[in-house]
């Protein structure tokens, strides 16, 4: 007797993280509906190439449209009744949110609203939505914990993601939608985004161009390798939160489980902040060439450091990201040289 495949609906499926997650879910035996608008925020051909690889699987279906399009997600939920929904589609980038804030309203606020409405009509077993470490904003106590107060966002991008967390909590409470929000910490790896530091630094060093190093290099990031990240997401799919009641034992004090909804926030990071200069040294070592550094002041909306407490992730899934930066950077550089034939 054959069993029907479980269906996952992934928004942002041709994006950096979405591509890797879809690849993993397909390998694990899921049927995947991927939604992506293939916007021109960065090189569309990179997104098209990711999608082409996913389309090699007979269990992947691509839907190329914006998530904020009225009726799009409602129809997909009605037609496919997904078991799991992983919402990654968003207008990304701290710095771009200063230049084009309205695009963040459309994709991050209206798009997420359309998703929540679709889920209300046809509830999946588990909804998982991407947030960001940027919501911790001006917090200085580290490592960042999910139960820390996070009300001082320093960019409009971060503000839209914090709003997504609040929106999702209200729907989880009102309509009993099991919901996990994950806060990502500086994800990197092969097929990465060209607007991210690793991509820009690698390209510049290979072209013998200078790299812009903000805050004169006095920054730390909790760099998280993409394979570790999507493995954590796949495990979190299987541990949907439940609404607490009088028969449920109290959750540990560091658990972000809502007292009134089947809703939880989970950090996904490497739990090991790396100085920016050490990250650059790893790129130089992988390429075999030194960078020419243009030391600059901190950019508006940026933060000097990030560091994830991954205790909750470890308790829920039995593991947490561990790939050393030197290894992950070397894999990215090898992919970059192969992809761009340099």
Residue 316 pLDDT more than 50? yes
| pLDDT value of position 232 | 98
Band the pLDDT of 300: cuts 50, 70, 90: confident
How many residues are recorded in the chain?
342
Whole-number average pLDDT of the chain? 94
Higher pLDDT: 45 or 1? It is: 45
Band the pLDDT of 298: cuts 50, 70, 90: confident
Residue 3 pLDDT more than 70? no
What single DSSP character describes residue 136? G
| pLDDT value of position 95 | 79
| pLDDT value of position 122 | 98
Band the pLDDT of 190: cuts 50, 70, 90: very high
Residues taking part in catalysis: 157
Residue 1 pLDDT more than 60? no
- Over residues 257-264, the mean pLDDT reads 96
pTM, 2 dp: 0.95
Q: What is the pLDDT of residues 150-189, one digit of tens each?
A: 999 999 999 999 999 999 999 999 999 999 999 999 999 9
Taking the CB of residue 40, how many other CB atoms lie within 10 A of it? 8
User: Per-residue b/e over 84-104, b at no fewer than 16 CB within 10 Å?
Assistant: bbbbbbbbbbbebbeeeeeeb
Q: What angle (nearest 5°) sits at the alpha carbon of residue 151, between those of residues 148 and 153?
A: 115
Q: What is the pLDDT of residues 40-71, one digit of tens each?
A: 999 999 999 999 999 999 999 999 999 999 99
Residue 328 pLDDT more than 50? yes
Closest CA to 118 of 77, 151, 85: 77
Query: Could you tell me what percent of the chain has a pLDDT over 70?
Result: 99
Alpha carbon distances (Å) from 167 to 112, 162, 263: 8, 9, 11
What single DSSP character describes residue 215? G
- Calpha distance 327→339 (Å, rounded): 18
Closest CA to 12 of 78, 73, 95: 73
Q: What angle (nearest 5°) sits at the alpha carbon of residue 330, between those of residues 324 and 334?
A: 150
The token pair at 172 is 């989880």
Residue 265 pLDDT more than 60? yes
Higher pLDDT: 134 or 98? It is: 134
């Amino acid at each position: 007797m054959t069993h029907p495949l479980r269906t996952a609906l992934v928004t942002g499926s041709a994006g950096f993280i979405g591509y890797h997650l879809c690849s993993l879910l397909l390998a694990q035996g899921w049927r995947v509906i991927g939604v992506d608008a293939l916007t021109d925020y960065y090189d569309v051909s990179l997104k098209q190439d990711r999608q082409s690889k996913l389309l090699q699987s007979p269990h992947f279906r691509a839907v190329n449209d914006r998530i904020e399009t009225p009726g799009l997600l409602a129809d997909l939920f009605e037609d496919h009744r997904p078991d799991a929904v992983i919402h990654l589609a968003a207008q990304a980038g701290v710095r771009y949110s200063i230049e084009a804030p309205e695009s963040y309203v459309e994709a991050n606020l209206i798009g997420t609203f359309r998703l929540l409405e679709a889920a209300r009509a046809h509830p999946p077993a588990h909804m998982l939505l991407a947030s960001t470490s940027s919501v911790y904003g001006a917090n200085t106590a580290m490592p960042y914990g999910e139960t820390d107060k996070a009300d001082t966002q320093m960019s409009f991008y971060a503000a839209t993601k914090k709003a997504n967390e609040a929106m999702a909590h209200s729907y989880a409470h009102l309509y009993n939608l099991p919901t996990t929000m994950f806060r990502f910490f500086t994800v990197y790896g092969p097929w990465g985004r060209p607007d991210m530091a690793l991509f820009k630094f690698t390209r510049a060093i290979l072209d013998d161009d200078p790299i812009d190093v903000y805050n004169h290099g006095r920054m730390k990031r909790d760099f998280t390798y993409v394979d570790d990240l999507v493995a954590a997401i796949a495990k979190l799919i299987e541990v949907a939160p439940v609404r607490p009641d009088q028969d449920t034992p109290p959750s540990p004090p560091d658990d972000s489980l809502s007292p009134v909804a089947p809703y939880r926030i989970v950090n996904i990071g490497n739990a090991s902040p790396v100085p920016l200069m050490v990250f650059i040294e790893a790129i130089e070592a992988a390429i075999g060439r030194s960078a020419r550094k243009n030391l600059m002041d901190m950019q508006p909306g940026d933060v000097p450091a990030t560091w994830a407490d991954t205790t909750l992730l470890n308790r829920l899934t039995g593991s947490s990201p561990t790939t050393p930066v030197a290894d992950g950077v070397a894999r990215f550089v090898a992919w970059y040289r192969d992809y761009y034939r340099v």
